[in-house]
């Protein structure tokens, strides 16, 4: 770590903070706090992208960093906050079954990610070797968040977090994807956020809750 240039050390620190934000979302029981954690994760990914642009002299990555900050750090969290307010769920607290075990399982997933990334580490790819492992851990934690939690909003945050991990891995390993590809991904994420908002309203109107556990208890009424 100390042998790396200062900017690459900063990229590793930001990647680690992005992983910490994933753990924060996993441990948060309040929806608004989980949304705040996702917003901070988006800010960290944007900052890491800007530093990768500085290290690799890839100027188009500055636009990617700006898009990431605008969408994942500001716009999408604002949209989710607005939806939560309109559904009167600002103070709602999700009952997490065995929260300590959920976080412990997340730690085991991080260890698994580093074990999977061992062949990459042997390639001596400087800061990239560790960022790949961290990115894979973020993807696994996002998937675990979708499985372990029952609130639809939290599951959407897990999905968006997985995309953050994939984007961070792509930026770190390729030093920048083509700008057209990055713009397409940003547009897809924005469209997905809008569609999720529509689904929120439909689910809430149907069962007056966003708890997916209640969906399994729904039964059809028998005809008279």
| DSSP of 96-115 | -SSHHHHHHHHHHHHHHHHH
Q: Is 188 helix (H, G, I), strand (E, B) or coil?
A: helix
191 or 8, greater pLDDT: 8
pLDDT tier, 137 (very low <50, low <70, confident <90, very high otherwise): very high
At residue 3, does pLDDT exceed 60?
yes
pLDDT tier, 202 (very low <50, low <70, confident <90, very high otherwise): low
Q: Is 211 helix (H, G, I), strand (E, B) or coil?
A: strand
**For residues 143-159, average pLDDT:** 84
pLDDT tier, 131 (very low <50, low <70, confident <90, very high otherwise): confident
Whole-angstrom CA distances from 86 to 80, 137, 154 are 10, 33, 17
Name the least confident of 55-64, 74-83, 186-195: 186-195
**For residues 28-44, average pLDDT:** 89
Q: What are phi and psi of 219, to 5 degrees?
A: -130, 150
At residue 196, does pLDDT exceed 80?
no
At residue 45, does pLDDT exceed 80?
yes
40 neighbors 156 (Cβ within 8 angstroms): no
Beta bridge partners of 30: 93
pLDDT tier, 223 (very low <50, low <70, confident <90, very high otherwise): very low
pLDDT digits (tens, 9 = 90+) for 61-74: 888 888 889 888 88
Count other Cβ atoms within 10 Å, centred on residue 84.
19
The pLDDT score that the predictor gives to residue 178 is: 58
Most confident region among 26-30, 56-60, 101-105, 128-132 by mean pLDDT:
101-105
**For residues 9-25, average pLDDT:** 90
Q: The pTM is what? A: 0.81
Name the least confident of 84-98, 159-173, 184-198: 184-198
């Amino acid at each position: 770590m100390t042998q790396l240039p200062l900017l690459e050390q900063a990229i590793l620190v930001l990647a680690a903070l992005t992983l910490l934000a994933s753990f924060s979302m996993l441990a948060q029981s309040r929806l608004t706090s989980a949304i705040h954690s996702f917003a901070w994760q988006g800010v960290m990914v944007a900052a890491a992208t800007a530093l990768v642009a500085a290290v690799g002299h890839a100027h188009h990555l500055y636009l990617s960093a700006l898009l990431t900050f605008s969408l994942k750090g500001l716009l999408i969290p604002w949209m989710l906050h607005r939806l939560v307010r309109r559904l009167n769920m600002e103070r709602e607290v999700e009952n997490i079954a065995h929260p300590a075990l959920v976080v412990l399982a997340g730690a085991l997933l991080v260890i698994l990610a580093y074990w999977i990334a061992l062949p990459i580490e042997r390639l001596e790819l400087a800061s990239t070797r560790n960022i790949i492992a961290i990115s894979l851990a973020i993807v696994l934690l996002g998937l675990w968040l979708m499985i372990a939690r029952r609130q639809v909003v939290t599951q959407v945050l897990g999905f968006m977090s997985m995309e953050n991990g994939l984007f961070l891995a792509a930026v770190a390993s390729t030093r920048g994807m083509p700008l057209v590809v990055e713009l397409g991904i940003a547009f897809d994420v924005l469209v997905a956020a809008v569609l999720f908002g529509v689904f929120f309203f439909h689910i809430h109107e149907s069962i007056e809750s966003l708890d997916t556990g209640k969906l399994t208890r729904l039964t059809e009424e028998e005809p008279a």
